[in-house]
Amino acid sequence: MIRAGRLADTLIGLVPIALILLAWQAVHSAGLAPPALLPSPAAVFTRLAQQLGSPAYLEHAAATLYRLFAGFGLALAVGVALGVAATGSRAVGAVTGPIVRVLAPVPKIALYPAFILTLGFDDASKIAAVFVDAVFPILIATRQGTAVVEPKLAWSARAAGVSPARCLVTVVLPAALPSVLTGARIGLVISCIVVFLAEMITSTDGLGHLLVRAARNFQTVDMFVPLITISLLGLTLNAAFNALRARLLRGFPEES
């Protein structure tokens, strides 16, 4: 029954996507929009398939992925470390708390020009942009998750002679893992988005740059391709992340 329900749900979910594609095709076939403004879906997906097999395109994708993972990796390391430290030490909590409250609602993409000025036009400024945007959800989720860990879990470890610092790493952090991973997933999607935007604003390579280059040359088909690529990339990363999450959290009670 549940299986059948799932299948039905998946089919229902495909309807709007199919409708959009159909409408797109219809507008194109009816000649309502010139191909220069709206190319046919067939043209776009043929081009996408072609590009995904082209080494030059994949090199651009690789540049994007490198920046994405460098920035996200840094954000993960710093966000988790600071979040745990803020729970473990009253002093760290007192300093990071208000700073996070001030910086979290600031539109951090606006810092990108500052990174260009201080770190240059290359990878470093884009990695920094990804980092500052991804670090906050991870830090906040880690802080909140570790703060609400059942104290008796930590007591059980402390009674076994484990030092407070060790307890923080071996008990409090793993116990907060569901929350940490929620933050990390938000951070990952943000990383996807920011790296693309940074490449659109200034870059000489990467998927975002390809979109801007196509826009400058009025190659409409080539504008769609990087956008679909980043969406596919996001879906893939999300699926991979969910698989990893299921594995890491296999001992935890299921959540809805």
Partner 1 sequence: MIAIDAVSKEFETKGGRRHLAIDDIGLAVADGEFVSILGPSGCGKSTLLYIVGGFVPPSRGSVTVGGKPVTGPGPDRGPVFQEFALFPWKTVLGNVMYGLQQQGVGRTQARERARALLAMVHLEGYESFYPKELSGGMKQRVAIARTLAYRPSILLMDEPFGALDAHTRTRLQNDLTEIWERDRKTVLFVTHSVEEAVFLSDRVVVMTRSPGRIKEIVTIDLPRPRDRVTLLLERRYQDHVVAIERMMDAQE
Partner 2 sequence: MTRLPGIPGLAPLVAFAGLLAGWEVAARGIGIDGLPPASRALAEVPGILADPESLINIGASLYRMALGFALGVAVAVPVGLMMGRSRHVAAFFNPLLMVIYPVPKAALMPIIMLWLGVGDASKTLVIFLGVSLPVVYHSYQGGRAVEEKMLWSAAAMGMGAPARLLRIVLPAALPEILVGCRTGLVLALITMVTSEMIARQSGVGNILFNSLDMAQYDTVYAMIVIIGVLGLALDAAFERLRAALVGWAEPSQALMVGTT
Measured from the CB atom, is 105 or 253 closer to partner 1? 253
Q: How far is the CB of 181 from partner 1 (least distance, A)?
A: 12
Q: Give CA–CA dist 207/65, Å, rounded.
A: 9
Shortest Cβ 54–partner 1 spacing (Å): 44
**Using the rule CB under 8 A, is 108 a contact of partner 2?**
yes
Binding map of partner 2 across residues 72-101, x = CB under 8 A, - = no contact: ------------------x--xx--xxx-x
- With binding defined as CB under 8 A, does residue 2 bind partner 2? no
Residue 170 makes contact with partner 1 by CB under 8 A? yes
Q: In 3D, which of 80, 185, 65, 198 has the Cα closest to residue 129?
A: 198
Residue 164 sits in the site that holds partner 2 (CB under 8 A)? no
Q: Judged by CB under 8 A, which stretch of 16-24, 152-160, 227-235, 238-246 contacts partner 1? A: 152-160
Residue 134's identity, in one-letter code, is: A
Q: Verify binding: residue 3, partner 1, rule CB under 8 A.
A: no
Could you tell me how many residues make up the chain? 256
197 binds partner 2 (CB under 8 A): yes
128 binds partner 2 (CB under 8 A): no
**Residue corresponding to tokens 């470390």:** 81
Kindly tell me which of 160 and 256 has the beta carbon lying closer to partner 2.
256
Least gap, CB of 246 to partner 1 (angstroms):
13
Question: CA 67, 68, 73, 75 torsion: positive or negative?
Answer: positive
Residues of the shown chain interacting with partner 1 in the complex, contacts defined by CB under 8 A:
150-153, 155-162, 166, 170-171, 174-175, 177, 248-253
